[in-house]
Amino acid sequence: MSRRTPEEAGFVLPLALAGVLLLWLSSLSLQAAVLHGRRLAHLERQGVQQRDQLASAAQLWADWFSGPGQCQRAVALTQWAEACTTDLPAFDDQGVQLQAWSPSDGGGTLALRLSESGAQARFALGPFGVRELD
């Protein structure tokens, strides 16, 4: 049996450690990529839910303007207190607040805001129905 020289001895352990570290770093990198992808998917899903909630509230306002809120339909939000005595709808329990209403010919522009997240959207109301702006 031949003896190894001191330069040849012990090269397997550092090589094995380097391999293990390389595998460990690559698995950490993959795990980070998966977590980042999940986070992006969650944020996208949350954004879709918020837009849906705002669109639903805009439809409720459009229905209200067609019924008991016909008096307010032709008046800007800032003048509602002086214009009509109709009770305002209680849509705030859904977490959506009316920010602005600007009437125009046959409809108007509605600005809504989510209470929790602060997400905002503007909608055009008219004979065509409700359409999101921007």
For 66-94, the DSSP string reads HTTTHHHHTS-GGGHHHH--PPPP-GGGG
Model confidence over 67-104: pLDDT tens digits?
A: 888 888 888 888 877 777 667 776 666 788 889 999 98
Q: What are 62's two structure tokens? A: 């459009």
Give pLDDT, residue 115.
Answer: 87
Global pTM value:
0.74
